[in-house]
Amino acid sequence: MAVGVFDSGLGGLTVYEAVAKRLPDVAFVYYGDNAHAPYGVRDAEDIYQLTCRGVERLWAEGCDLVILACNTASAAALKRMQESWVPKNKRVLGVFVPLIEALTERQWGDNSPPREVAVKHVALFATPATVASRAFQRELAYRAIGVDVEAQPCGGVVDAIESGDEILAEALVRSHVEALKRRMPHPEAAILGCTHYPLMQKAFQEALGDNVAVYSQANLVAESLADYLTRHPEFAGPGKVSKFLTTGDPVSVSSKATQFLRHPIKFEAA
């Protein structure tokens, strides 16, 4: 048994890298649905069906706990999955809550009423589907009041990353940041609301300026998972060897993953 990490493509590898570093004794199975990426331009039903299919594949690998390392899936599918689909002996967790808890400076599992927080102007960069779901704003409202969120749908960025075109991805990041700044000239914090975007974190930071705090999810999710497994050690399992599965071409996906992470990653066909 291992812990599953699900993503629409390559982006979730940023989360995998962080959780594997934080929890070196835990085995992980990574599933990238590269054949259907990007999810951010799909409708909610399509995202739900594809996410369920991927999670079932990870369950078949013995992963009773699955992290949806995909903001689009977390936004468009997770609530419905948890309410009506996930069996009692399985767990499927998303990536939004650890990010919002860090932004609002709340401890893991703090369920106290929403309160005023220091950051008042937040830029959210996400896929069109994540922006349309308003899931980030909904989760934030459970924990904070008086925060102005300006969301920028970042069309094309995931496609560029998945195709291995870093130059295009950087150009698109600059364009999307400029578009957001026309509506919110002085954000105090920026949320990289897609697990692909940390691969472009330097470009986001440069376009936003050094005075903007940029939050990405990988390390925050890793800390949250470590806390969860401390409280629920039965979901860690005895496995020791991690593996990587893709619905795309394993050779091509391995090459692009190696390019972005700058160390070898070998995928197998899912």
Residues 167 and 131 in one domain: yes
Residues 109 and 63 in one domain: no
Q: Give the domain CATH number at 120.
A: 3.40.50.1860
Average pLDDT over residues 221-235: 91
Q: pTM of the entire structure?
A: 0.86
> Could you report the per-residue pLDDT of 10-28, keeping only the tens digit for each?
989 999 999 999 999 999 9
Is-catalytic flag, 63? no
| 52, 63, 154, 194: the active-site residue | 194
Residues 208 and 103 in one domain: yes
Residue range(s) defining the domain that contains residue 239? 3-94+218-269
8 Å CB contact between 36 and 8: yes
Residues 196 and 264 in one domain: no
What is the percent of the chain where pLDDT is above 90?
69
Residues 185 and 244 in one domain: no
The packing angle between helices 13-22 and 218-231, to 10°, is: 50
* pLDDT value at 108 more than 70: no
What's the number of domains the chain is made of? 2
Q: Which residues pair with 123 in a beta bridge?
A: 150, 190
Contacts of 132 (CB under 8 A, 6+ apart): 153
Cα–Cα distance measured from residue 270 to residue 247, given in angstroms and rounded to the nearest whole number? 5
> Could you report the per-residue pLDDT of 38-60, keeping only the tens digit for each?
898 899 999 999 999 999 999 99
Residues 10 and 102 in one domain: no
pLDDT the model gives residue 219? 86
Average pLDDT over residues 214-226: 89
The neighbour count for residue 25, using CB atoms within 10 Å, is 7
Is-catalytic flag, 154? no
Residues 229 and 140 in one domain: no
Query: Where a domain ends, among 200, 215, 230?
Result: 215
213: part of which helix (H) or strand (E)?
strand 213-215
Residues 205 and 103 in one domain: yes
Residues 106 and 209 in one domain: yes
29, burial (CB in 10 Å: exposed 0-12, middle 13-18, buried 19+): buried
